[in-house]
Amino acid sequence: MSDFSVVDLICAKRDGQALGPDEITWFIDGYTNGRIPDEQASALLMAIYFQAMEPDELAVWTQAMIDSGERLDLSGLEHPTVDKHSTGGVGDKVSLVLAPLMAACGAAVPQLSGRGLGHSGGTLDKLEAIAGWRASLSNAEILSQLADVGAVICAAGAGLAPADRRIYALRDVTGTVPSIPLIASSIMSKKIAEGTSALVLDVKVGSGAFMKTHALARQLAEAMVTLGEAHGVRTAALLTGMDTVLGRTAGNALEVRESIETLAGGGPDDLVEVTLALAREMAELADLGADPADVLASGAAMDVWRAMIAAQGGDPDDDLPWASIVETVNAPADGVLGRLDALAVGIAAWRLGAGRARKEDPVSPTAGVVCRAVEGEPVRAGEPLLELHTDDESLLPGALAALEGGFTVVAEAGAPRPLILDRVTAGGRA
């Protein structure tokens, strides 16, 4: 491989020039394998943060991240593979319902997931609230569960896109996470390496999301759809609202319970709406004939859920744990809940112990927030609006502080906010 000067690459990107394919490949390999030091990689990431990347550069950057590790081969599976990825939000438990639902629709769903960081929860943390459930599977176990059960949600192994692991850790401590090309390459390198044939992206927009505006979310969605299609993965994206909590709970065991209610045919309307909208996109990309709403109503998704949890060491009949302390926040006046801010609730749940500040921190299975009212519902002065669940009383003041100014009680309900905001598909596909 040719040798370049990292300083030349940093200066070129700093001055707004595109990097060449060989330079990018050399940089990703050099950083992943420890030949390029953190300080130079940090400077390049900051230059990318300010100058972004051309589509061709982003394609090569993502390819180099994929090539840094192994690629799962799912081509031997009998069923079409389709996965979903969310950019993360508060109360976003969609994957727990969607993975078994799509398997019940006839797909194989390889959902290799991450853990939560900051105020947005992680799918693996939620499932680990189920006693005995195991997130780490070998590649052979992933393949056999996909063949037998049809869905697997597990940790992405160390061999998949190791460049992303190193670069993400550096971005986390250098203020370079919120960059569209860096987010797009990070997410898509892992999803392409995972080997799925089709992918639906749930790009969250709003106060509780990475992307605070529709325009930025759309740019991210377009970049990811383009990358997926260029690598032969049929890819589509929905932009969905994340200004308020999805469903009525934020927190690990609390969200698993709400997901089980949804699989049983109940659950909150907004969670069902987002799940079914994503499910229809997945069914279309994977050419499945089934109607996800009918399949959810039939109970078949619940059967897959039970098999999926049991296959990874959990007992689907076990009681989920409850927190020992529940504090309520009461409505200050009679009226209607006007606004319930996703970020405020997400930070409160995080401070109660549901999320982590650093990758190595433990999370509490029981901590979180239950919304006794959601936007547009009537409330009465002195009656509970929110429940704060924790096992550590000292965490309550921080959570209560996060909720200050996080909700309004108004005289009349406003128009409900739309949940499905936009759709991005590859050029030429409807």
**Is residue 186 near ligand URA by the rule CB under 6 A?**
yes
Query: Measured from the CB of residue 198, what is the shortest distance to ligand URA in angstroms?
Result: 19
Q: Output the CA torsion sign for 382, 383, 388, 389.
A: positive
Q: Are 29 and 64 in contact (CB under 8 A)?
A: yes
Query: Measured from the CB of residue 172, what is the shortest distance to ligand URA in angstroms?
Result: 9
**Is residue 227 near ligand URA by the rule CB under 6 A?**
no
- Which residue, 60 or 187, has its beta carbon nearer to ligand URA? 187
What is the x/- site pattern for ligand URA, positions 89-118, by CB under 6 A? -------------------------x----
Query: Measured from the CB of residue 168, what is the shortest distance to ligand URA in angstroms?
Result: 6
**Nearest C-alpha neighbor of 184 from the set 58, 69, 46:** 58
Cβ-based burial of 17 (10 A; exposed 0-12, middle 13-18, buried ≥19): middle
Name the active-site residue from 68, 120, 186, 207.
Answer: 186
- Which residue, 136 or 298, has its beta carbon nearer to ligand URA? 136
Query: Measured from the CB of residue 84, what is the shortest distance to ligand URA in angstroms?
Result: 14
Three-state SS letters, 50-91 = HHCCCHHHHHHHHHHHHHCCECCCCCCCCCCEEEEEECCCCC
Name the active-site residue from 13, 126, 166, 190.
Answer: 190
**Is residue 302 near ligand URA by the rule CB under 6 A?**
no
- Tell me how far apart the alpha carbons of residues 205 and 211 are, in angstroms, rounded to a whole number: 5
Residue 164 designated active-site = yes
Query: Measured from the CB of residue 98, what is the shortest distance to ligand URA in angstroms?
Result: 18
**Is residue 367 near ligand URA by the rule CB under 6 A?**
no
**Is residue 308 near ligand URA by the rule CB under 6 A?**
no
Name the active-site residue from 83, 92, 125, 164.
Answer: 164
Residue 186 designated active-site = yes
**Is residue 196 near ligand URA by the rule CB under 6 A?**
no
**Is residue 187 near ligand URA by the rule CB under 6 A?**
yes
**Is residue 192 near ligand URA by the rule CB under 6 A?**
no
Name the active-site residue from 171, 248, 257, 356.
Answer: 171
Count of residues of this chain found to bind ligand URA when the rule CB under 6 A is applied: 7
- Which residue, 92 or 375, has its beta carbon nearer to ligand URA? 92
Q: Return the residues of window 145-184 that contact ligand URA according to CB under 6 A.
A: 168, 177, 182-183
- Which residue, 180 or 363, has its beta carbon nearer to ligand URA? 180
Residue number of the CB closest to ligand URA reads 186
- Which residue, 187 or 309, has its beta carbon nearer to ligand URA? 187
**Is residue 221 near ligand URA by the rule CB under 6 A?**
no
**Is residue 219 near ligand URA by the rule CB under 6 A?**
no
**Is residue 188 near ligand URA by the rule CB under 6 A?**
no
Please report, as ranges, the residues that interact with ligand URA according to CB under 6 A. 114, 168, 177, 182-183, 186-187
Q: Would you name the residues annotated as active-site residues?
A: 85, 164, 171, 186, 190
